Amino acid sequence: IDSKGYFKVYFTKEQYQALKAKKVRKNIYIPSYEKKGRSTARFAFPVSKLSQEKETAGVVRIPKPKPKKND
């Protein structure tokens, strides 16, 4: 991940085509504050946001997780 949050993923043409054919599902995991070492898939990064050029790559904003409030 670079300083602006961009990252690289390497696929073969076959892998990329197979990924495009699949239904978008939640694939961004957020760590749990309550259960150490656990995480939950909460957001999706659709393959349509991927690009070979940084300038045309899509953006997915992930909100910072907040700890559960103690009452």
Q: Give the 3-state secondary structure of 5-31.
A: CCCCCCCCHHHHHHHHHCCCCCCEEEE
Asked if pLDDT for residue 15 goes beyond 90, the answer is: yes
In a domain, 70, yes or no: no
What are phi and psi for residue 12, nearest 5 degrees? Answer: -80, 165
**Domain tally, the chain:** 1
Average pLDDT, the chain: 88
Q: How far apart are CA 14 and CA 66, in angstroms?
A: 39
Q: How far apart are CA 11 and CA 9, in angstroms?
A: 7
pLDDT digits (tens, 9 = 90+) for 17-51: 999 999 999 999 998 888 889 999 999 999 999 99
Segments forming the whole domain that contains residue 43: 1-10+23-62
